[in-house]
Structure 1
């Protein structure tokens, strides 16, 4: 530790980083055990962070709060990906007549960075700044397929929450789905997150060809039918490739 380091501030940073990786949150006892911080100190740290909106409490567990999300969105405003993607999301929405979005991994979840609404008055809702489960979203499957080498290690002891009857809730089944996503070059959420909503996404690469985001659409199953998957996948994949090219991918 250097002479300018403040122990409690450092511990607060460690707590925030640890909670960013835990979808369901952690209790005071769990934070104390994992970070090896005295219970009294952790209580004061967590209480202060909660008061300032950095954390929120759900039962006995704590999760990241709205202040952290606001900071994240502020950082995203400076993101080259977000700026370059904005006009392309508009084109994607016009080409498919559906709501388009782009997302990145945020710990063990995905963060919707930018959204362009469908031109239709009745449309599937999606909102910038939303955190979503990675295992049952199209963008999440894409990011798992291209950025996570070991699913068991990534999910550790996390539960794959069942959102609908279609949600994949076991690692072996998810591994098969992720492999299919990798082979076909796009991921599909087939009413796995919300009944009546289908999503499709493809990977976005940067200048060194690393996958850094996923771009896709969210739509009602009444307009985005199974028959349209091939059509939509070609449009979304082409958009992802064009965005990747603009970001310097070869």
Structure 2
């Protein structure tokens, strides 16, 4: 690789862990000659990749523009599909991907199970955010103020035999699920169906989507859930990472 490009990248990488640095601090961290660091830093300032205020350098707005373009052009479905296919192989259950659309969740991708008994779901299906594991995971990780406003105004309608229709019950369930980082539902959107869901986070650390495995209730025993949750979380983490999510950030 081109040495100048590599060294330039090393300078930029310093600002992953440091909000701002002086020239001397960069020199000490990189263990490079001061004149070389100065020339590269000044070039990065001229290009807008770094910004200098008094004696301090920090990341410039050009990088923000590039980052926003990358985030906008990432195709969630394209990233998620191969991971979903592998999750289906691992769990033997259907896998669904949902995103929020106002006060509803919309199913944007699915991978059907090969099992003869399955739960019917189709791309384009909509569901209220309070009902079912996959829609409710979006509500669970919504910003707190917005979440509270939603719960206060939404009409909780019974869709299936176990749909949550009490606000206090919904709040309690959300708190429990937020702590354990996943949610489970039994017969909330469709009788005798079950699902487990986890959040997918974007580059801003916000829940951008929900990922679930779903099937008939009899295949979702406590033992089965304990087995599938780590697989589901790992798959969601893979997708989140490709969307730019970093737990450190």
8 Å Cα contact 2:117-2:216 kept in structure 1: no
Determine the structure 2 residue equivalent to 1:117. 112
The reply on whether 1:166 has 2:162 as its aligned counterpart is yes
The reply on whether 1:130 has 2:125 as its aligned counterpart is yes
After superposition, residues 47-196 of structure 1 pair within 5 angstroms as: 80-150=75-145, 151-196=147-192
The reply on whether 1:228 has 2:224 as its aligned counterpart is yes
- DSSP 3-state at the match of 2:164: coil
Alignment root-mean-square deviation, CA: 1.5
Deviations 1:94-133 (A, max 9, x none): 1110000110111111000100000113211111111012
8 Å Cα contact 1:109-1:134 kept in structure 2: yes
Following the alignment from structure 2 to structure 1, what is the Cα–Cα distance between the partners of residues 109 and 123? 5
Query: Which segments of 5 or more consecutive residues in structure 1 lack a partner in the other structure?
Result: 1-77
- DSSP 3-state at the match of 2:116: coil
8 Å Cα contact 1:145-1:182 kept in structure 2: yes
Following superposition, which runs of at least 4 residues in structure 1 exceed 3 angstroms of deviation? none
2:245 alignment partner, one of 222, 237, 249: 249
Give aligned pairs, total.
173
- DSSP 3-state at the match of 1:121: coil
1:204 alignment partner, one of 172, 180, 200: 200
Following the alignment from structure 1 to structure 2, what is the Cα–Cα distance between the partners of residues 127 and 79? 23
Deviations 1:31-73 (A, max 9, x none): xxxxxxxxxxxxxxxxxxxxxxxxxxxxxxxxxxxxxxxxxxx
The structure-2 alpha-carbon separation of the partners of 1:157 and 1:209, relative to structure 1 and needing over 3 Å to count, comes to: closer
Following the alignment from structure 1 to structure 2, what is the Cα–Cα distance between the partners of residues 96 and 217? 8
